[in-house]
Structure 1
Amino acid sequence: MPRKYAILLALTLGVIVLDQWTKYLVVRDLTTRFDGATTLSQRLGAFYSPAEEPGRRGLHFQPKTHVEVAENFFRLRYAENPGAAWGMFRDLPPHVRGPLFHLVSLGAVLLIVFYFRKLSGTDPAEVWALWGLPLVLGGALGNYIDRVARAFVIDFLEAHWYDKAAWPSFNVADMAICIGVGMLVVDAFVRKEKPEASAPAKAS
């Protein structure tokens, strides 16, 4: 397997596994979703299927606690996002929002793979894109798994300032996407198209 595809596979799968694992832990420890589930298969079945109707506070999985990591600044708290990044389009009707997100997600995956295939994998100038594209791909697929399984994305990382101002909740997949996009921005600045060699002048 060429080195660039080994990087793509390892990094993409690594992001997906870390993203899904952290979401599973959040549901297990911060919600009541697994109450009564005694086996791993039962917990996974509950994890990858939505509740029939939202309950209190409009959530499908009911929170039971949260964790203050840095008081007044950062906490772990279960949240659901039926929309796109930062909750955009969450108010669209489900019959419109679902197909739209499926189309956008699959289109993004195809676009990422298309651009990744164009990389040589040996040019040192490509390093930012070589690692950035798999991060974006892994993050996009991590959140897409959530949408397919339960029609909403699980978020749990909450940065805030004394509860007076807060950044929208996010997850590991969102972090991978943001880091990957940042690396692609750097790539756009540091990687230049090599100019074609000038044709030799004809002798008179």
Structure 2
Amino acid sequence: MPRKYILLLTVALGVIVLDQWTKYLVVRELTTRFDDRPTLGERLSAMYGEPPPQGFDGLHYRSKRYIEVSDSFFRLRYAENPGAAWGLFRSLPPATRGLLFHVVSIGAVVLITWYFSKLSGKDPQERWALWGLPLVLGGAIGNYIDRIARAFVIDFLEAHWYDKAAWPSFNVADSAIVVGVGLLLVDAFVRKETPDKETPKQDKSATART
């Protein structure tokens, strides 16, 4: 297997495992979902099975606490996002929203894999794309697992400014996607097409006659 595909699998799987593991910890520590489920099997079944109906707070898993990392800037708090980034499309009917996310997620995986296959894996200028694409792929699959399992994504990272302004909650998968897209933007500026040295120069006299 070419080394570039080993990198793709390692980084993407690493993001997926870290994303799902942190979401498991958040459900265990910040919600009551696992309170009456002592075994790992019962907890995984509860996390990836059909979620209970939404409560009065709009959450399927009831929140029991949150963790203040920085009183003025950052906390860990359980949240659910049935929509896309920043809650986009969350007002769509569930069937329409689900179909949209299935198409977009599968399309993104196919597009990323195809683009990655076009990389030689040998050009040093490709390093930004070689790392950026696996990060985006892992993040996309991580959130897609949530949507397949329970039709909403678990978020828990909450950045705020003295509770006067807040960035929408996000998770590890979202972070990987943002970093990956940033690397791809760098790649777009850094990597340039090299001219084909073997292409013969056009005959100036022929150009002049035309």
Is this a same-fold pair by TM over 0.5? yes
TM-score range relative to shorter protein:
over 0.9
2:195 corresponds to: 195
Q: Once the two structures are superposed, what CA deviation does each residue of 1:166-198 show, in whole Å capped at 9, x if it has no partner?
A: 000000000000000000000000000111224
Find the residue that maps to 1:16 and give its secondary structure: helix
2:122 corresponds to: 122
Q: How many residues align?
A: 203
Cα deviation, residue 95, structure 1: 1.1
The 5 Å alignment of 1:108-187 reads 108-187=108-187
Could you tell me which amino acid in structure 1 is paired with residue 6 of structure 2? A
Find the residue that maps to 1:168 and give its secondary structure: coil
1:78 corresponds to: 78
Runs of 4+ in 1 over 3 A off after TM superposition: none
The 5 Å alignment of 1:13-92 reads 13-92=13-92
- CA 1:185–1:201 in structure 2 vs 1: closer, same or farther (change >3 Å)? closer
Report if aligned partners of 2:73, 2:159 keep a CA contact under 8 Å in 1: yes
- CA 1:162–1:201 in structure 2 vs 1: closer, same or farther (change >3 Å)? closer
- CA 1:150–1:201 in structure 2 vs 1: closer, same or farther (change >3 Å)? closer
Query: In the aligned structure 1, how far is the partner of 2:115 from the partner of 2:41?
Result: 38
Query: In the aligned structure 1, how far is the partner of 2:136 from the partner of 2:103?
Result: 17
Report if aligned partners of 1:50, 1:151 keep a CA contact under 8 Å in 2: no
The CA RMSD over aligned residues, in Å, is 1.2
In the alignment, does 2:107 pair up with 1:107? Answer: yes
Give the TM-score normalised by structure 2: 0.94
Report if aligned partners of 1:154, 1:171 keep a CA contact under 8 Å in 2: yes
Cα deviation, residue 62, structure 1: 0.4
Find the residue that maps to 1:56 and give its secondary structure: coil
Find the residue that maps to 1:102 and give its secondary structure: helix
Runs of 5+ unmatched residues, structure 1? none
Runs of 5+ unmatched residues, structure 2? 206-210
Find the residue that maps to 1:58 and give its secondary structure: coil
Cα deviation, residue 200, structure 1: 5.0
Q: Once the two structures are superposed, what CA deviation does each residue of 1:115-154 show, in whole Å capped at 9, x if it has no partner?
A: 0000000110000000000000000000000000000000
Report if aligned partners of 1:56, 1:62 keep a CA contact under 8 Å in 2: no
Cα deviation, residue 79, structure 1: 0.0
Could you tell me which amino acid in structure 1 is paired with residue 95 of structure 2? H
Report if aligned partners of 1:50, 1:60 keep a CA contact under 8 Å in 2: no
Find the residue that maps to 1:57 and give its secondary structure: coil
Could you tell me which amino acid in structure 1 is paired with residue 185 of structure 2? V
